Amino acid sequence: MAQMHVMAGAGDKLDLPVIKTITLADLTEALRRGAADFWAKPSHYFLLALIYPVIGIVLTVWMNGFHTWPLLYPLIGGFALIGPIAALPLYEISRRRELGEEPSWRDAIGVIHSPAMGSIIAIGAMLFVLFTLWLTSAQALYENLFGASPPQTFGAMFNQVFAEPGGMTLAIIGTAVGAAFALVVLCTSVIAFPLLLDRDVGAYVAVETSFRAVMHNLIPMLAWGLIVGISVFVGALTLFVGLAVILPILGHATWHLYRATVDDASMIRTMPHGQRP
């Protein structure tokens, strides 16, 4: 049964994984191994990957019907914000392949029985709140520049951004705000979910470890965030269909990035209040 370990795992001490130094070459290797995982057994989870383009198409239709085109850009960016949650089955596939197993679709879905599911849900809720704040900020910025009446079509929105006064302001400030949200997500969850699947260390430790991983490997991790962001937008340009391949590869690659970043044996043990044992 899943338990909520907010501060730590099942014990009474904080087990803080040791962070290793990585380079840009490690990102390339993670992507290579992620692609290998995807092509090894695509039949087991290709249907899962199709969820992304289906959701994207539904969102596009919804925006067209309810005239919420200004939120298209933030919604696309939202795939990068909440993607780590949906990639949980992909992490499990990569984890089992690394152990030499032949994972099945049932194994991938089996992550819902993880002892760390409570902690995973807690961090997932945090990402959902950030996603909601991102959409709210984007809507507030648009209304501040153009008023409460949204464009009726995608073409009208495109013209508004690139031809009307305030359009470039919307694009520049909106991108900067989105980048800030993405940076927060990167720092708090870049390896949090793979870590929780691998070790039930608790939500606090998972977030803290992700933050240390980014700070210790700032350039590679920022490059990773840029790779994820660009890949998501490239996939979205294909009416979201490209995400059916891009997101699973990124999901698998995230597992290998975690394995390259976190020492698989060494731990720093401290008391809950920061006192050394």
Q: Which residue has the higher pLDDT, 104 or 30?
A: 30
At 109, the pLDDT band (50, 70, 90 cuts) reads: confident
The strand pairing partners of 267, in sequence order, are 17
Position 86 confidence tier, pLDDT thresholds 50, 70, 90: confident
Per-residue pLDDT band at 196 (split at 50, 70, 90): very high
* pLDDT over threshold 80, residue 27: yes
Query: Residue 33: which H helix or E strand, with range?
Result: helix 24-40
Beta strands in the chain, from DSSP E residues, in sequence order: 14-19, 262-270
Confidence class of residue 183 from pLDDT cuts 50, 70 and 90? Answer: very high
Indicate the pLDDT class of residue 7, thresholds 50, 70 and 90.
low
Mean pLDDT, rounded, for 184-196: 94
pTM of the entire structure?
A: 0.83
Render 46-93 in DSSP notation, one character per residue. HHHHHHHHHHHHHHHHHHHHHT-GGGHHHHHHHHHHHHHHHTHHHHHH
Q: Given the structure tokens 């704040």, which residue do they identify?
A: 133
Q: How much is the average pLDDT of 53-67?
A: 63
| DSSP helix/strand/coil, 165 | coil
CA pseudo-torsion sign 51, 243, 187, 71: negative
209 pLDDT exceeds 70? yes
Kindly state the helix (H) or strand (E) to which residue 100 belongs, with its residue range: none
The burial of 114, by beta-carbon neighbours within 10 Å (0-12 exposed, 13-18 middle, 19 or more buried), is given as middle
Pairing of strands 14-19, 262-270: antiparallel
- Measured CA to CA in angstroms, residue 222 lies from 20, 76, 121, 207 at distances of 16, 19, 25, 17
Q: pLDDT above 90 covers what percent of the chain?
A: 35
Which residue would you say has higher pLDDT here, 200 or 68?
A: 200
Which has more confidence, 274 or 205? 205
Average pLDDT, the chain: 82
Query: What mean pLDDT do residues 54-77 have?
Result: 68
Dist CA 73 CA 171 (whole Å): 10
Please tell me the predicted confidence (pLDDT) of residue 215.
Answer: 97
Average pLDDT over residues 67-85: 74
SS3 113: helix
Contacts of 55 (CB under 8 A, 6+ apart): 240
Q: Which among 81, 88, 86 is positioned nearest to 193, based on CA atoms? A: 88
- Higher pLDDT: 57 or 120? It is 120
